[in-house]
Homo-oligomer: A and B are copies of this chain.
């Protein structure tokens, strides 16, 4: 009653064959005669046999698992990328292990980049130490990337995306355009801020120091940025704000509107990501659409290719973005 899980040898005995034959019938049926195969099948259903994965993994020197390292599981942005990853991994016979890099003892994370635990790694957090990830198991980087870590990157062209934003706002006639950045040090924050500055310059504009607000991608930090903006004198306030994430943009808009001002009447707002929500808030948000599902899917596909013996080509896959123009942007109010 306790140890009642049938083993392969139980099946073999019942079918009157050896364990080798059962194993072959399961993993390479072509090697087994039709009648034997049938007998094995019968024995399997009679015993209710189920393969022991740990044993197979041990023998195959693989685990069947892929680990995704995400900076924050609770963030819907990553959730949808995971969804894309899972949609590829499942059918391919791998399972997805998820670890939150910010959640617990950082030391344990190294355990994941370990061949006996996972066959591959998808890193969504650019703040991990490159050294810890180097030369362990096949990995790809998605969205964020770790500076100095040679691995395939699946990402968007952040600078080009930001250029679309600047052009849109500048074309509308905005001259004083502000920015709420992502967390300091984050590769995306840096790329977006840098691209923003450069494109402003290309359009003959500059980013005034008091038009650059700190942020960390969170709703709350967007709200806080709005407070700063509201505190500025109307005459020197940016007439348009580009925020490095949709979450911040929502927080920003909410706070501005709660103070009785209007978007885009008093300020135009542009976000980044195009999370589902942004089309449903009031006003619907102008933003950059990132193909999240595709990012996840492609990252997973590339990783599997690598695992299955592909070359460790460490280039980049750049996915296209799109500026989605909705109602949160308009020409600046004449003053």
Tell me the A residues contacting B by CB distance below 8 Å: 5, 50-55, 57-58, 61, 63, 65, 67, 72-76, 78-80, 82-83, 86-87, 90-91, 95-100, 103-105, 108, 112, 114-117, 219-220, 222-223, 247, 250-251, 253-255, 257-258, 276-277, 279-284
* A79:B87 contact, CB within 8 angstroms: no
Q: Which residues of chain B are near A54, meaning CB under 8 Å? A: 54, 57-58, 61, 63, 116
**Bound CA span A53–B72, Å:** 26
**Bound CA span A251–B284, Å:** 11
**Bound CA span A72–B84, Å:** 11
* A258:B277 contact, CB within 8 angstroms: no
* B115:A5 contact, CB within 8 angstroms: yes
Question: If the complex has contacts A53-B63, A277-B277, A282-B257, are A104 and B117 also in contact, measured as CB distance less than 8 A?
Answer: no
Q: Which residues of chain B are near A223, meaning CB under 8 Å? A: 280
* A280:B220 contact, CB within 8 angstroms: yes
* B97:A96 contact, CB within 8 angstroms: yes
* B63:A86 contact, CB within 8 angstroms: no
Q: Which residues of chain B are near A220, meaning CB under 8 Å? A: 280
**Bound CA span A325–B238, Å:** 33
**Bound CA span A103–B95, Å:** 13
Most buried by B among A75, A223, A253, A281: A281
Q: Which residues of chain B are near A57, meaning CB under 8 Å? A: 54, 57
Tell me the smallest distance from the CB of A296 to a CB of chain B, in Å. Answer: 10
Q: Which residues of chain B are near A61, meaning CB under 8 Å? A: 54
Tell me the smallest distance from the CB of A46 to a CB of chain B, in Å. Answer: 18
* A250:B280 contact, CB within 8 angstroms: yes
**Bound CA span A95–B116, Å:** 13
A selection of 30 A-B contacts at a CB cut-off of 8 Å is A53-B114, A54-B57, A55-B116, A58-B58, A73-B82, A73-B83, A74-B80, A75-B79, A76-B79, A78-B79, A82-B98, A86-B98, A86-B103, A87-B104, A90-B100, A90-B104, A90-B105, A91-B105, A95-B99, A96-B97, A96-B98, A97-B98, A220-B280, A250-B280, A253-B282, A254-B281, A254-B284, A255-B280, A257-B282, A282-B282
